[in-house]
Amino acid sequence: MSQSKKESAVEAITNTLFGMGLAYGAQLFWFPVLGKEFTTLENIYTVLFFTGVSFFRNYIVRRFFNPDDMPTDEKLFHKILEKGCEDCGNNFSVVSSSPSQIMLLECDECFKQYRVDPMLQQAERL
């Protein structure tokens, strides 16, 4: 499933707001166990600081794994790897890769080979 940047942000905000409440409750319990006493305002500042860190982390990780943001040659490569061998459906190993980014893949089971040319957006069985 791919998400737009806005959908990623909404998910990150929802996740982070839920985490804020959980973190605040955890702080009220855990800090006294450690012998630390903070005012309500200090606890809120602590939650807000780590909330910002959490939001940033969540959003960046989500965007990193969004396949729509991958360059086209990476999309093709991942699509071929996910699909597997046409004959047996097993995984591929990368046999070689050239400076022009043409890759040679080989099926791990039946050893059939495929040539992947990202510039032409095609893969052909050899």
Confidence at 4, pLDDT banded by 50, 70, 90: confident
* Residues near 121 by beta carbon (within 8 Å), at least 6 away in sequence: 72, 76
Among 89, 121, 91, 122, CA closest to 105: 91
pLDDT, one tens digit per residue, over 53-106 is 887 887 787 776 665 555 555 666 666 667 777 777 777 666 666 656 677 777
Distance CA 106, CA 20 (A): 48
Distance CA 106, CA 100 (A): 19
| Average predicted confidence (pLDDT) for the chain | 77
